[in-house]
Structure 1
Amino acid sequence: MTVVGADGLARPQWASVDPMLREYYDTEWGMPVRDEQGLYERICLEGFQAGLSWATILRKRPGFRSAFADFDPDVVSDFGPDDVERLMLDPGIVRNRMKINATIQNARATVALRGEGGLVDLVWGFQPVDTPRPREQSDVPTVSDESKALSRALRKKGFAFVGPTTMFALMEAVGIIDTHLVTSHRRGTSGVWPH
């Protein structure tokens, strides 16, 4: 079910209360991300989000960008043990050693993928032939055959914190699928899927 805001626009419940989440929903979520750095960032942030709320990650996104060199894979791939210790002391990010190490590992895997067509082609290669058309939030799946396959493919290439549910959330966030509720003002705005 969507909630109609004071601006007359219909959004899902999660995007209708917090102004930061509303802005993210209205301008970013579900829009196509087709550049390497952008996809690498989203993969890492979705990994950091595991077990936490997306609002927590979004609030800390400026800190993450500062800590991880704007998610430049070439820079982050050179991070070593001293960088991990520095990041573990950074209050601007989620200080989880496994997730920090995964971000560095994912940078190295992203760089290595360039010789095989690159991260963008790999991730977008799992776009399904159809997208969900949810009427209620409860109709939105949390995993799909494609997100399971993407998870396996990324793990095979050395990525970490890329489980099937996390990859489904990524596919929603970067426009590979459109899980906007059919009554939402954002449904079909990505240009990837018809309304």
Structure 2
Amino acid sequence: MTDPADSSPPDPRAGHRCTWAEGSALYRDYHDSEWGVPERDSRMLWETLMLEGFQAGLAWIVILRKREGFRAAFAGFDPVKVAAFDDADIERLMADPGIVRARAKIVATITGARIYNEMAARGESFADFAWGFTDGRVIRGDGHTIHASTPLSETISKELKRRGFKFVGPTIVYAWMQAVGIVDDHAAHCFRRGQA
């Protein structure tokens, strides 16, 4: 079935954005307004990491189409509320067609909320944690090379796993780094390159 959001008039910037963002209005909007924009809000950084975990094994478009459903199901990704989810909430989420119904990923999100809250209770913001690996600076890709992971995403992945996060392998972490603007991986010809 075609998503109505995927059919829109031709964009005058076609050919001047990252190739992956062409062909779908939802992808184009996400690319043009969010992807690669440096995110400094702890809660949003955590939400995006959790959604990247749900994306594992799926196309990102699936998550984009269900993002509002995820937000509704996970209490707006409020870490305090999500950390309090219990077995009944897990069963509720497993029955929710508005999200990706994968028990291990649901449990990982609840666990991730608890870890996020533990960090906050120690006075460690998730934003400081995330951006601390680059001293707060955006890493600029060369605009030509497409990476699945990097030594830095491997380092961050190991640290997230050490803290107890799940679904945070180096590839997921690198996709998250791109999404939240820790890395500017817009293509050399893309109008968004270097705007961060």
TM-score w.r.t. length of structure 1: 0.90
- Quote how far apart the aligned CAs of 1:61 are: 0.2
> What amino acid maps onto 1:127 in structure 2?
T
Contact 1:127-1:177 within 8 A present in 2 as well: no
- Residue 140 of structure 2 corresponds to which residue in structure 1? 131
Specify the SS of the correspondent of 1:181.
coil
Q: 1:7 aligns with which of 1, 4, 12?
A: 12
Q: Which amino acid in structure 1 is aligned with residue 35 of structure 2?
A: W
SS of the equivalent of 2:153 reads helix
Q: Which moved more, 1:140-149 or 1:114-123?
A: 114-123
In the alignment, structure 1 segments of 5+ residues that lack a partner are 191-195
Task: State the 1:37 CA deviation.
Answer: 1.2
Deviation at 1:11, TM superposition (A): 1.4
* 1:180 matched residue in structure 2: 186
Q: For residue 4 of structure 2, what is the aligned residue in structure 1? A: none
Give, in whole Å, the separation in 1 of the partners of 2:42 and 2:150.
23
- Of stretches 152-161 and 94-103 in structure 1, the one that deviates more from structure 2 is 152-161
Of 53, 58, 64, the residue aligned with 1:47 is 53
Q: Look up the match of 2:5.
A: none
Percentage identity across aligned positions? Answer: 45
**Aligned-partner SS, 1:106:** helix
**Aligned counterpart, 1:155:** 161
Aligned to 2:69: 63
1:86 aligns with 2:92: yes
2:128 aligned residue: 121
Partner in structure 2 of residue 112 of structure 1: 118
Q: Name the SS for the 1:11 alignment partner.
A: coil
Q: How many residues are paired up?
A: 183
CA shift digits 1:134-191 (9 cap, x unpaired): 23xxx2111111100101111111111111100000000001011101110000111x
Question: How far apart in 2 are the matches of 1:120 and 1:52?
Answer: 26
Matched, 1:73 2:79: yes
Does the 8 A contact of 2:105 with 2:167 survive in 1?
yes
- Provide the aligned C-alpha RMSD in A: 1.4
Tell me the amino acid that sits aligned with residue 12 of structure 2.
D
Does structure 1 retain, via aligned residues, the 8 Å contact 2:18–2:189?
Answer: no
Contact 2:94 2:101 in 1 (8 A): yes
Q: Once structures 1 and 2 are overlaid, which stretch shifts more, 121-130 or 94-103?
A: 121-130
CA distance in 2, matches of 1:183, 1:168: 21
Q: Distance in 1 between matches of 2:39 and 2:91?
A: 31
C-alpha contact 1:126 1:147 (8 A) present in aligned 2: no
- Deviation, 1:116, is 4.5
With structure 2 as the length reference, what TM-score do the two structures score?
Answer: 0.89
Superposed CA deviations along residues 10-55 of structure 1, whole A, max 9, x for unmatched, are 1122201000000000000000111121011101000000000000
- Equivalent residues of 1:127, 1:146 under 8 A apart: no
**Matches of 2:64 and 2:176 in 1, distance apart?**
14
Q: State the distance in 2 between where 1:127 and 1:177 align.
A: 10
